[in-house]
Amino acid sequence: MERTFIAIKPDGVQRGLVGEIIRRFEAKGFLLVGMKLTQVSREQAEKHYDVHRERPFFESLVNFITSGPVVAMVWEGKGVVASARKLIGATNPLTSEPGTIRGDFGVDVGRNLIHGSDAIETAEREINLWFSQEELTTWESSVSSWLYE
């Protein structure tokens, strides 16, 4: 089954949106298979945002993600990588659709609350960067037959 990496950034934690964000993923029908509250090191942040290394906002991105605790999660389900990106909304919260996490709760692109992997291969890389095998669980929800045909 497909898995994706989701992180509630320091602004989401500070603003008390951890429960609300997790609720949306649960309500959609995705399965939480890994979760931790973690203070990200500079080294890990730079690895995570490696594709943006040459962008002008790289430094502030790394400063921001390391500025406070982050809730790192792995969610599982059919098509979860693309679907999570839809639940999250467009990168800039000002243009994210209402009903999405960023569209409902954010204003500034540098405070957009949440990260989600952008492709299946990215998800594999990010899950391995943030979690060890022992930190991930394999389980089946007792309502899975009411979610999947």
Please identify which residue in 61, 62, 80, 81 interacts with ligand DAT, judged by CB under 6 A: 61
- Distance of alpha carbon 148 from its chain centroid, rounded? 23
Q: Does 115 bind ligand DAT (CB under 6 A)?
A: yes
Q: With CA atoms as reference, report the closest residue to 6 among 103, 138, 101, 94.
A: 101
115 in active site: yes
Instruction: Say if residue 17 is exposed, middle or buried (CB neighbours under 10 Å; 0-12, 13-18, 19+).
Output: buried
Please identify which residue in 8, 112, 127, 130 interacts with ligand DAT, judged by CB under 6 A: 112
Site map 115..144 versus Mg ion, x via CB under 5 A: ---x--------------------------
Site map 13..52 versus ligand DAT, x via CB under 6 A: ---------------------------------------x
**Residue 57 contact among Mg ion, ligand DAT, none, beta carbon within 5 to 8 Å by kind:** ligand DAT
**3-state secondary structure at position 5:** strand
What is the size of the binding site for Mg ion (CB under 5 A)? 1
Please identify which residue in 68, 69, 103, 110 interacts with ligand DAT, judged by CB under 6 A: 110
Q: How far is CA 93 from CA 21, 45, 102, 110, 149, in A?
A: 15, 22, 5, 9, 34
Alpha-helix residue ranges (DSSP H) falling in 49-130: 58-65, 80-88, 101-105, 120-130
Which positions are annotated as active-site residues?
A: 115
